Amino acid sequence: MSEIEITGPDTASGIWSMEDLLTFPAGKDAPQGHRGYGQYHETYRKVHGEWLIDSVLLTRFRMDPPENWVPDA
């Protein structure tokens, strides 16, 4: 889901929901990955009639370890 707002004749901003799944090599005290949730906050600028991404900021709301993950004792 996204929200885009035109902020000027050559500028805009947007918010995009995101979810990702990252995996890592096995570690003794760390999960092998996580599922993350958040939003991308972007700004856009029109250059020579073409819309381009001007900036991107990722805000994470939550990160969950894999199901059934328990640290080594």
Q: Measuring CA to CA, which residue among 59, 57, 73, 62 is closest to residue 34?
A: 62
Neighbouring-strand partners of residue 60? 38
Write out pLDDT tens, residues 8-31. 999 999 999 999 988 877 766 666
Higher-pLDDT residue of 68 and 58 is: 58
Could you say which DSSP state residue 68 is in? T
- Phi, psi for 67 (deg, rounded to 5): -60, 145
Q: What does the pLDDT read at residue 24?
A: 77
CATH for 2-64, options being 3.30.930.10, 3.40.50.720, 3.10.450.50, 3.40.50.10860 = 3.10.450.50
Phi-psi region of 49 (alpha: psi -120 to 50; beta: other; left: phi over 0): left
Pair 60, 36: CB distance under 8 Å: yes
In the chain, where the domains are located: 2-64
What is the tens place of the pLDDT at every residue in 26-38?
A: 766 666 788 999 9
